[in-house]
A and B are shown apart, each in its own frame.
Chain A
Amino acid sequence: MPSEMGPERWARVRKIVDEALERDSREWSKFLGWACAGDEPLRKEVESLLAERGRTGILDQTRATEPSTISRSLEPGDVLAGRFRIVRRLGRGGMGDVYEGEDLNLGGRVALKTIRPDIASNAQATARFKREVQTAKQVTHPNVCRIYDLHITPGNAASGEPGMMFLTMEMLQGENLADRLSRGRMSTQEAGPLVLQMAAALDAAHEVGIVHRDFKPANVMLTPTGKGNGIRVVVTDFGLARSMEDTAGNVTMVGHIVGTPAYMSPEQLTLGTLTPATDIFALGIVMYEMVAGRRPFPEAAYLRPKAPSPRQFVPDLDPQWESAILRCLKQNSEERFQTAADLIAALSAPAVQGGGARAEESLPTRQTVPPVAVVMPTVPVTPVAPAAPTVQITTIAPPSLRKTGMWLASGVAACLLLAAIVWILFFRSHQPAAPDSHQSPAPGPARAGSLGEVRTNAKDGLPYVWIPAGTFRMGCSPGDAACAADEKPVHEVGISQGFWMGQTEVTAGAYQRYTRAAGTGRGDLPAVSVTWQEAAGYCEWAGLRLPTEAEWEFAARGGNVRSRYAGLDAIAWDVDNSGNAPQPVAKKKPNGYGLYDTLGNVWEWTADFYSSSYYQANSGADPKGPAGGAGHVLRGGAWDMRADGIRVSARAQGAPENHASDVGFRCVGELP
């Protein structure tokens, strides 16, 4: 019995098991009889351990021994196989790293994908991988990334240089769809041509019996066609795909589910049989994300309930898109579109309902679906000859696109003009603030406070301080060398209404009152492990809201232009002074507005979606962030960060369903 096991007993058991393992299993019975010498419980214990020999478990799966799962990093200038000179690293994927390389023999650029040593050194995995490459090479389609060759370089035993395995592939310019989506969702006009090309790529692969298995925005490249605004979509990374004949599972990889959980179909999560409908499901999630700015299922959740309609988030979404997306997301794979071509047909069918406006938003009619012809790599999407019905998709869309584009352009101009007028009106009526100076106090509404005033919110019992209206320079502080690209450019932002802001992060005590959860934890610690939705829910309960990113930075600066209003240790809990845990609020020096712990202690959720390029397009009064995005902005840094992350302009993001021990929040709004 394990409960009676002590170190001495274990030492005996261990010794016998160890010796048994050195012997042939046919000798065990005899050996155990001798070694256990009539001690039956001992023999039982040993036998029960030896019976485990056939089991593979967690210790075998993630066992991180040699060969390493880390690819050797290559440096620019390194030459592989005497032929490919590394130019730069493009990214890192599940199988290894991807580099841009120069082909010294033929000239021109190629993408090089290194294969992780643990895969490269596993004979079975290598054999399967070679077959995959063989199959993938059969797909020649403009929307599928071309694979050139698989190279294996022998190692050098003398220098200890390990061998390498890498793929050469078509080098693609542009950004991937994940990058694009981080800037916000798309209209169906914008998404339409892209979806059709993605579907065409999948269809071409399905034709030759390949299921992608890991279809996701990061595996979709958007390559400018050179002329006009044409975009050639190229689906990459069929490297993880396994030819369908293998789904019986004869040669499985080290026991991992292959793929990316957020885009996995129910059958993939349950290790069921994979069919083209598996990729259709993933495409459905991607389409959802494109038009709704979010995915239908919680981040990395392993549950696949009925998907909520994307119209919940985009009320004016074309019903044709809605029904196509929801059909892709059916739990039962047989209820989904069975081929990507069917999806193309459904999206291209004449709109059943809706008037002119609807028709405008949906895609043009077409009859046949040879996906290969959807888009040619060398031809810009826009001005293709209008004859063939297959090309119609791309040729009919453009006039409306162009129209939309023009409308958009004039719309933007109008918005800017309006903003300028509002700006002038507003700031003329108030004292214009000199750049980098203190806020300009505004008269404010009747219930406004005054600078330095602290008021308790009866609802949550927390202290709130008054943040007056004013202008400030948002983004990278002068002289701050640690700024990242997303903190630039610095731009003038106005906060037109003063507001009350939580003087501290919402405490665990207040949060417990909100959730009515019984708890004995320390009430003065900030509430952490709160998702964005929960934080927003609390603020609403307290009669308040989450701050916009601009409000947060304006308030956190407290009139100060530097990246911190005083020395780091004096104002913030960080990785060096926090003892690796969140600390009670309001123990450090407050800022000019009386706010505590804006920097350090815990990250704070803001209302805005995150976009790394948002600052490039926005200045003016009361910016509210991009229309959509994968995550919401987190500000202020936390107890587990170093100095570089704890700066007033530093930005991070979190998916709305994420929570962590270093993320909390505070609320803003009006107080009675």
Chain B
Amino acid sequence: MEASPGEITRLLAGAQKGDAEAVQKLVPLVYGEMRRIAAQYMRLERPDHTLQATALVHEAYLKMVGKSNFNWENRAHFFAVAARQMRTILIDYARGRGRDKRGGGQSKVPLDEGLVFSPEKSSELIALDEALQRLEKLDPRQSRIVELRFFGGLSVAETAVVLGISDRTVKREWNVARLWLHREIARAV
């Protein structure tokens, strides 16, 4: 089920119009690509890379959509789809590390040396993920804004486009959510 850049662009256009089926088709494609890229990072194939959410999403985007089809709206929607997958991948890695730490002995890090995560950061990430789950019950939109911006790397403007709200709303919701999340993380870590 290899999809051509044209096919991805078509699905993205569908996603932009709110076509749920297009999003459904897009998700496994994006996930597979990102999982593959993350796995490559892990297998030392690229010694000088860091697993950075934005870089990974961006790379997946360039691979799947290509530079020639570059379009800000497409990019925003692609990243929106990718944000949830990115969150899953990063938390998986963070939990992998956390488990080893608790298991005692040497900490085994599934990712390559260039990684910017520290153990503290892994537990912070896990705490963030858990706090986001709670926030989702309180305010799904805020939770989604954080997911898009933090895990998907979307800018304020892109987040606004994806959610169909104003830049100003994104900023204000982000500011409040940020305070709440930082407090919850500080309590958890």
Chain A interfacial positions (CB closer than 8 Å to B)? 2, 5-7, 10-11, 14, 17-18, 21, 48-50, 52-53, 55, 57-60, 62-66, 68-70, 73, 91-94, 178, 218, 256-257, 260-263, 269, 298-303, 529, 531, 575-576, 580, 630-631, 634, 638, 640-643, 645, 652-655, 657-662
Q: A65-B153, A260-B114 are in contact. Are A11 and B139 (CB under 8 A)?
A: yes
Taking CB atoms, residues of chain B closer than 8 Å to A59 are 128, 146, 150, 178, 181-182
State whether B139 touches A575 (Cβ < 8 A): no
* Nearest CB on A from B88, distance (A): 9
Taking CB atoms, residues of chain B closer than 8 Å to A269 are 118
A57 to B189, CA, bound (A): 12
Total number of B residues with any Cβ neighbor in A under 8 Å: 67
Q: A69-B55, A261-B115, A300-B109 are in contact. Are A58 and B42 (CB under 8 A)?
A: no
Closest A residue by C-beta to B99:
A529
**Residue B2 contacts which of A57, A178, A642 (CB distance < 8 angstroms)?**
A642
The reply on B65 being an interface residue by CB < 8 A is no
* Nearest CB on A from B87, distance (A): 12
Taking CB atoms, residues of chain B closer than 8 Å to A48 are 183
**Residue B124 contacts which of A50, A57, A63 (CB distance < 8 angstroms)?**
A57
Q: A21-B175, A55-B186, A302-B118 are in contact. Are A660 and B42 (CB under 8 A)?
A: yes
**Residue B185 contacts which of A58, A62, A298, A640 (CB distance < 8 angstroms)?**
A58
State whether B107 touches A298 (Cβ < 8 A): yes
The reply on B28 being an interface residue by CB < 8 A is yes
A94 to B115, CA, bound (A): 10
State whether B118 touches A58 (Cβ < 8 A): no
Q: A11-B139, A299-B109 are in contact. Are A94 and B32 (CB under 8 A)?
A: no
State whether A50 touches B44 (Cβ < 8 A): no
Taking CB atoms, residues of chain A closer than 8 Å to B112 are 299-300, 655
Taking CB atoms, residues of chain B closer than 8 Å to A261 are 113-115
Interface centre among B2, B113, B128 (most CB of A within 10 A): B113
State whether A7 touches B138 (Cβ < 8 A): yes
Chain B interfacial positions (CB closer than 8 Å to A)? 1-2, 28, 31-32, 35-36, 39, 42-50, 52-55, 58, 67, 92, 96, 106-116, 118-119, 121, 124-125, 128, 134, 137-139, 142, 146, 149-150, 153-157, 172, 175-176, 178-186
Closest B residue by C-beta to A53:
B179
A-B CB contact pairs (8 Å), 21 listed: A2-B134, A7-B137, A10-B138, A14-B139, A49-B180, A49-B183, A59-B128, A64-B150, A65-B149, A70-B58, A73-B67, A92-B48, A92-B49, A257-B116, A298-B108, A631-B43, A642-B2, A643-B2, A654-B43, A655-B112, A658-B110
Closest A residue by C-beta to B152:
A64
A117 to B180, CA, bound (A): 30
Closest A residue by C-beta to B119:
A302
Q: A58-B128, A64-B52, A301-B106 are in contact. Are A641 and B36 (CB under 8 A)?
A: yes
List the 6 closest pairs (A to B, CB-CB), nearest first: A64-B153, A262-B113, A64-B54, A10-B138, A575-B32, A300-B109
**Residue B149 contacts which of A10, A63, A634, A652 (CB distance < 8 angstroms)?**
A63
State whether B118 touches A642 (Cβ < 8 A): no
A580 to B178, CA, bound (A): 32
State whether B108 touches A52 (Cβ < 8 A): no
State whether A55 touches B48 (Cβ < 8 A): no
* Nearest CB on B from A274, distance (A): 17
State whether A580 touches B28 (Cβ < 8 A): yes
Taking CB atoms, residues of chain A closer than 8 Å to B179 are 17, 49-50, 52-53
